[in-house]
Amino acid sequence: MKSVIVWLLLGLAWTPALGSQDGADWLMKINDAASQLNYSGTFVYIQGQRIETMRVTHRAGENDMRQRIYALNGAPREIVRDAKQVWCYVPDKKLGVHEYRQVSKQGFPNLLPRGLEHVVKYYNVYKGSKGRIADREVQQIVITPKDEFRYGYNLWADEHSGLLLKAVLLDQEKRPIEQYLFTHVEIGGEISAQDLEPVTPKGELVWYGDARTENQSKPDGGDMPTGNWVVEKVPEGFMLTRKIKRLSPMRAKMVEHYVYSDGLATVSVFVEQVEGESSVKIDGVSKMGAVHAFGREIDEHQITVVGEVPSQTVDLIGMSVRRKL
């Protein structure tokens, strides 16, 4: 997800009503809609002074899901993804990044990387007020964390279909960090193959990432049975959901990648061997929008922890990473 002024103008202030079960049911409806519906539309992404407008086209399907997101302002950018792969097109720099989707097969704007029953243990989930977004009636869902290790969310879903039309990420003081908001959306109908094709031909770009042919069935690295590192401390509720060895796209280096989730928030831990000054090094906590990162070097390896979570979360996790004995 990706701060809001617009919501003040819309007057969509909330008052928790009913109970957590009602809000939790809406979360399931939102999650199902994102994976089961065809839709296309224009949305605005706001983070601090940064405002971007994007076009999204999404075709649902268990085996043929495909999605294209295209930037409508600024330098041309687009992302095309299916259930297995992601292609990022950056034509003004003549480069592209291609990766196999080893961590998540979810597409924008899916939620719930883990189960709903886990979410309600660590967040309060309520129905809020009704409103109107992109000329459609919407229901607000308010999600507040039960501790200081997670952010809160304000969500607005289309009342009829459940598709998420607005999302605001909130810090511990309930101040907006980032948001996206649909300004126009069409739900349902056919999505043609042409609607999902990138504007820039692949052959015009220099590609980084997985250099295999697309016909190969298994990516380099992949799931690790054990891994060489261990995270000794995570906030309550965060659990290891995936550990893989993957190629770092821009540097052609293999890294160990450990993914932790509490059901909504996701934190990634990357471990790579330090190779002189050529390695990218992060020392301590840094912040870009909603994303906090923590870095440290240990035993000639760079530890990097990244997630849309408060700084204390990445600090706690990063300081506890140890080489497995």
DSSP per-residue codes, 30-61: HHHHHHH--EEEEEEEEETTEEEEEEEEEE--
What domains are there in the chain, each with its CATH number?
A: 6-204 (2.50.20.10), 220-323 (3.30.200.100)
| pLDDT values of the chain reduced to their tens digit, one per residue, 325 residues | 433 333 333 333 333 333 456 888 898 899 889 889 999 999 999 988 889 999 999 999 877 899 999 999 999 999 999 988 899 999 999 999 888 765 554 444 556 555 677 788 899 999 999 999 999 999 999 999 999 999 999 999 999 999 999 999 999 999 999 999 999 999 999 999 999 999 999 999 998 875 443 444 444 555 666 778 999 999 999 999 888 887 766 566 788 999 999 988 999 999 998 876 655 678 899 998 889 999 999 999 999 999 999 999 999 999 999 998 7
Tokens 């405002």 correspond to: 51
Classify each residue of 89-112 as buried b or exposed e, where b means 16 or more C-beta atoms within 10 Å of its C-beta. Answer: bbbeeeebbbbbebbeebbbbbbb
- Here the tokens at position 231 are 């995270």
Rounded to an integer, what distance in angstroms lies between the CA atom of residue 200 and that of residue 272?
Answer: 33
Q: What pLDDT does residue 109 have? A: 52
Q: Distance between the two ends of the chain, CA-based, in angstroms?
A: 37
Q: Which amino acid is present at 241?
A: T
Give residues with Cβ within 8 angstroms of 229, minimum separation 6. Answer: 256, 258, 269, 271, 301, 321, 322, 323, 324
Q: What pLDDT does residue 251 have? A: 63
